[in-house]
Amino acid sequence: MSNKSYSINQLMQIQACTNCQACVEACPAVAGSRDGKLSAAFRLTELGRLVKARAGLWRRLGFGKAPTQKALRAFGDTVFRCTLCGNCRQVCPVGLDLTGLWHSIRQDLVASDAYPGKIDLIRENLNESHNVFGEDNEERAEWVEDMPDAPDHGYVKQRAEVIYFTGCVSSFFPLAQRIPIAVAKLFDAARIDFSLLGEDEWCCGFPLLGAGLGDRIDELVENNVAAIKAKGARQVVFACPSCYRMWQEHYPNEFEIFHVTEFLAGLLKQDRLPLQKLDLTVTYHDPCDLGRGAGTFEAPRDIIRSIPGVRFVELANNRENCSCCGGGGNLEMIDAELSANIAANKMKAVTATGAQAVVSACQQCVRTMTTFAKRNKVPVAVMDITQLLHQALAGEK
Ligand code: SF4
Ligand code: SF4
């Protein structure tokens, strides 16, 4: 472990915390566990102690000992039980870049061999299979086989104007595969010349950042950029907000990139998607990476409001204050029970709106909320915004 994992600015931020506790109130992990040790305030206090204990001068002056491996591991246990949702950063009155710090601490703890064992699984899966689940990457576009009317090329074309970058969850997780099916049908309806990358799509690298392995993303970035260039595409569309943010922040600026909500909202404005009436009351869950992360709040709402017959009700906490679904930060792999508790709180808030369906714009949110709703028989439908729009497409049943 080394204090060099942190910039001077980050080390100053640790000292700037006023311990006002606003982040404790806002943290879904604290609410889901009733454990204040998962809060930003506790984490900053601990980090300050550890940084000081590691500083050579401080020790030479006789103040304290270097942190033991046991102490580091105990700290790691709290650090990785966090969804990286950014709500603490949103509410912090001092304006501390808390999520930036959480990534640096994870990187530090991995370098110090004080991290949960599940992190090794993410590293191995991405090394060996280029996807987060360790599945055969050649099967990335197998979901197309569930589309009886798919074209012969199976949406993996030699050349195309637009690439639909599917993402690991939608590619491999059966429940989420309804999302790429809806996207393909909507793009076909609007006559978009698009292609998938198929087996040439590798994980975007986002799970590596959350795993404290951000120094290993280069190979994935190079592969994905080369695969898109080979198809001659200029535009890339993502239905996964985490892939989208990853491209915004860590990929070279060589293509025009869109979250699918922005792309579809544009098609609706151009009248390229004829819609029929849907009799449904819906609420919308802002995915952390799309809302607080990428600042996209209006496009999904524009889509929902454009569907005739749909009644839209906001969650009590919405837009930048929307609470996490429990699916972020690799939390499901590290602490599935906490992830489910956070999902329970989310679904309580959804039920309180009286909506018949909760719509999100993220494969992982849909997966987390659907799993909780099914297991606990919550009488609310969970769907991605692409599925909602596909249902409303004229001529679809
Ligand atoms: S909200 Fe900011 S200043 Fe207040 S306790 Fe949390 S980290 Fe510290
Ligand atoms: S990122 Fe979210 S889960 Fe993690 S400490 Fe901040 S508010 Fe809590």
Q: List, in sequence order, every residue forming a beta bridge with 259; answer none if it has no partner.
A: 238
Query: Which whole number is the average pLDDT over 287-295?
Result: 97
Say whether 360 sits in a helix, a strand or coil.
strand
pLDDT bracket for residue 4 (50, 70, 90): confident
Checking if the pLDDT of 62 tops 60, the result is no
Instruction: Please give the share of the chain, as a percent, with pLDDT higher than 90.
Output: 91
Q: Which atom of ligand 1 is nearest to the CA of 98?
A: 7
Mutational pocket test of ligand 2: of 87, 104, 334, 346, the residue with most ligand atoms within 8 Å of the beta carbon: 87
Mutational pocket test of ligand 1: of 12, 15, 18, 27, the residue with most ligand atoms within 8 Å of the beta carbon: 18
Query: Which whole number is the average pLDDT over 50-79?
Result: 78
Q: Which two tokens stand for residue 257?
A: 């990139």
Burial (Cβ within 10 Å: 0-12, 13-18, ≥19) of residue 251? buried
Nearest CA to ligand 1 atom 1: 92
Q: What is the pLDDT of residues 328-344, one digit of tens each?
A: 999 999 999 999 999 99
Whether ligand 1 lies within 6 angstroms of the CB of 21 is answered as yes
Query: What is the residue whose two structure tokens read 């012969």?
Result: 152
Say whether 383 sits in a helix, a strand or coil.
strand
* CA pseudo-torsion sign 216, 222, 227, 229: positive
Give the per-residue pLDDT at 371: 95
Q: Which atom of ligand 2 is nearest to the CA of 83?
A: 3
Pick the closest to residue 395 from 233, 185, 202 (CA basis).
185
Which H helix or E strand runs over 384?
strand 381-384
Mutational pocket test of ligand 1: of 14, 21, 25, the residue with most ligand atoms within 8 Å of the beta carbon: 21
Phi-psi region of 259 (alpha: psi -120 to 50; beta: other; left: phi over 0): beta
Give the per-residue pLDDT at 61: 56
Q: List, in sequence order, every residue forming a beta bridge with 312; answer none if it has no partner.
A: 282
Whether ligand 2 lies within 6 angstroms of the CB of 88 is answered as yes
Whether ligand 1 lies within 6 angstroms of the CB of 18 is answered as yes
Distance 87 CA to ligand 2 centre (A): 6
Other beta carbons within 10 Å of 353: 19
Q: From CA 126, how far away is CA 3, in angstroms rounded? A: 28
Q: Which atom of ligand 1 is nearest to the CA of 20?
A: 4
**pTM as predicted:** 0.95
Q: From CA 80, how far away is CA 341, in angstroms rounded? A: 16
Q: From CA 239, how far away is CA 262, in angstroms rounded? A: 10
CB neighbour list of residue 258: distance below 8 Å, 6 or more residues apart: 235, 236, 237, 238, 244, 266
Nearest CA to ligand 2 atom 2: 85
Nearest CA to ligand 2 atom 1: 84
Q: What is the pLDDT of residues 335-382, one digit of tens each?
A: 999 999 999 999 999 999 999 999 999 999 999 999 999 999 999 999
Distance 329 CA to ligand 1 centre (A): 20
Q: From CA 156, how far away is CA 152, in angstroms rounded? A: 9
Whether ligand 2 lies within 6 angstroms of the CB of 82 is answered as yes
Whether ligand 2 lies within 6 angstroms of the CB of 334 is answered as no
